[in-house]
């Protein structure tokens, strides 16, 4: 993403997919460019975008709905309204995005005990959703497919079933598709290369589902929130669900770092939720740049020396550590006591993921202890360029430090695909892509 901007999220009133999309629009994401990407989906839906007032704060509200049967002659139907419908203020737009063969509703004192969940059309399997997402442009296509796979896998774990047996109700699936596509594309349009986030307020209470009342956060939401720092309390005396599955999916898949951030703020935006609470039901975001290229990032380094473990187990351990959120895992051969050959396991992680990774090391390896230190890591700002070559489009990773371009690296999978399609040697593809990327960067630096 060009520009290397940082986005800091302040989810003091939670996060939902519609709130995040509204925030990105309030920060300046081009609505017309977003709609162009939505139209690639080939799915009919209505998108209402409006500016509303939440407890004195002006925020952008977005609402996705399916048109009634028979409405609209075009395959892609988009309505961009600018009048807020207040009768929906007390409901979360995308509460139904985490259904698994059931409809999710809320009971927080503003709905009748006799309210019953109503289905929203047919169910959509992951394969159908991935087919729809396959019509998008890159890199939005790959990232959104990865995110929906994570969502459905979370649902499957909750229900104790296989991912291919999970069905999302059509309205909820389309709702989530638009919001997640908008989230990924919106970050690209804003030139955001790094997303940070503060403590996430999940809210508390119970949510109504077809099978009864479930505790907040809802099961699939809780599954997606693993490893994320949260607080669970009553906001302004109101017991409410503040984080929806699509919101939790954005946190788990698009946020790079949790905790304090050092940045220069250019803009502040607000995305509106659909509830009226004692506190403003908005997601606040700060858009800007890292305050200094010398700013260090505090991480946790977990290490353990082992001389008695079956070598066949190391690969499995590495996979589990990466699944648990490790930033890097590496093994180093060492000599231990009594001159025994051993292996030092080193795991680099965010500080908040430390405890879960230690549990994995204790459970899956033969170690009796784990050393923990807190190194500082200095990072270059990174962006991804999409470049056109004589062989086709490819992605390139570019690193900047102290305002200078310090590294340009073609993406392996992108180059490998071009090599297969063109029958050109991979090393030659690398050279062609690298030349195209450097030419693109030269044009940009020249102001063209």
Q: Exposure of 442 by Cβ count < 10 A (0-12 exposed, 13-18 middle, 19+ buried)?
A: exposed
The sign one gets for the Cα dihedral 40, 37, 197, 48 is negative
**Nearest 10 degrees: CA dihedral of 400, 403, 405, 406?**
-70
Residue with tokens 């899956």: 364
DSSP bridge partners of 195: 7
Domains in the chain, please, with CATH? 5-290 (no CATH), 300-374 (3.30.70.1380), 381-445 (3.10.20.300)
DSSP bridge partners of 235: 238
Distance in angstroms (rounded) separating the CA atoms of residues 448 and 445: 8
Distance in angstroms (rounded) separating the CA atoms of residues 344 and 365: 12
Q: Say whether the peptide bond before residue 217 is cis (omega within 30 degrees of 0).
A: yes
Two tokens, residue 102: 């059931």
Q: Where are the beta strands (DSSP E) in 307-340?
A: 328-335
Distance in angstroms (rounded) separating the CA atoms of residues 117 and 82: 29
Two tokens, residue 212: 């009864």
**Nearest 10 degrees: CA dihedral of 67, 68, 72, 78?**
-10
Task: Pick left, alpha or beta for residue 176 (phi over 0 → left; psi -120 to 50 → alpha; otherwise beta).
Answer: alpha
pTM for this one? Answer: 0.60
The one-digit pLDDT tens for each residue of the chain (448 residues) are 344 689 999 999 999 999 999 999 999 999 999 999 999 999 888 899 999 999 999 999 999 988 765 444 444 443 433 333 333 333 333 333 333 333 333 333 333 233 333 333 457 888 889 999 999 988 889 899 989 998 888 888 887 887 776 767 656 788 899 999 999 999 999 999 889 999 999 988 887 765 678 788 888 899 999 888 888 876 655 678 899 999 999 999 999 888 878 888 999 999 999 888 888 999 999 999 876 555 566 788 999 999 999 999 999 999 999 998 899 999 999 999 989 999 999 999 988 788 899 999 999 999 999 999 988 788 788 888 889 999 999 999 999 887 788 999 999 998 999 999 999 999 999 999 999 999 988 888 876 5
DSSP codes of every residue in 182-195: HHHHHHHHTTEEEE
**Nearest 10 degrees: CA dihedral of 360, 361, 365, 369?**
-140
């Amino acid at each position: 993403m060009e520009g290397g901007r940082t986005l800091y999220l302040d989810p003091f009133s939670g996060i939902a997919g519609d709130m995040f999309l509204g925030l990105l629009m309030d920060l300046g994401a081009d609505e017309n460019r977003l709609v162009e990407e939505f139209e690639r989906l080939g799915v009919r839906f209505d998108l209402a975008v409006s500016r509303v007032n939440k407890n004195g704060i002006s925020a952008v509200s977005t609402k996705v709905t399916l048109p009634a049967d028979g409405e609209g002659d075009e395959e892609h139907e988009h309505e961009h309204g600018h009048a807020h419908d207040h009768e929906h203020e007390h409901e979360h737009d995308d509460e139904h995005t985490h259904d698994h063969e059931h409809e999710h509703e809320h009971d927080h004192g503003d709905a009748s005990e006799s309210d019953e969940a109503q289905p929203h059309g047919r169910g959509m399997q992951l394969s159908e959703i991935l087919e729809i997402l396959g019509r998008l442009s890159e890199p939005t296509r790959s990232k959104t497919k990865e995110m929906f796979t994570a969502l459905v896998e979370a649902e499957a774990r909750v229900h104790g079933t296989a991912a291919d047996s999970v069905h999302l109700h059509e309205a909820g699936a389309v709702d989530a598709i638009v919001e997640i596509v908008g989230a990924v594309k919106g970050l690209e349009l804003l030139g955001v290369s790094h997303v940070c986030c503060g403590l996430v307020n999940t809210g508390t209470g119970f949510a109504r589902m077809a099978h009864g009342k479930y505790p907040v956060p809802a099961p699939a939401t809780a599954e997606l929130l693993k490893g994320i720092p949260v607080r669970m309390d009553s906001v302004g005396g109101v017991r409410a669900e503040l984080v929806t599955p699509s919101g939790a999916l954005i946190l788990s898949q698009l946020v790079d770092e949790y905790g304090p951030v050092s940045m220069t703020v250019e803009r502040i935006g607000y995305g509106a939720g659909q509830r009226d609470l004692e506190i403003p039901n908005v997601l606040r975001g700060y858009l800007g740049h890292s305050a200094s290229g010398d700013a260090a990032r505090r991480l946790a380094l977990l290490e353990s020396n082992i001389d008695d473990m079956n070598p066949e187990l190391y690969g499995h351990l590495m996979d589990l550590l990466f699944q648990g959120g490790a930033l890097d895992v590496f093994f180093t051969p060492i000599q231990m006591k009594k001159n025994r050959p051993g292996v030092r396991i080193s795991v680099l992680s965010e500080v908040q993921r430390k405890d879960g990774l230690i549990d994995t090391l204790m459970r899956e390896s033969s170690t009796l202890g784990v050393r923990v230190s807190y190194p500082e890591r200095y990072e270059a700002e990174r962006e991804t360029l999409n470049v056109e070559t004589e062989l086709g489009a490819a992605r390139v990773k570019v690193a900047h430090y102290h305002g200078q371009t310090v590294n340009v690296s073609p993406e392996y999978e992108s180059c490998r695909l071009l090599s297969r399609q063109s029958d050109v040697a991979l090393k030659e593809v690398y050279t062609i892509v690298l030349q195209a990327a450097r030419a693109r960067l030269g044009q940009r630096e020249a102001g063209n």
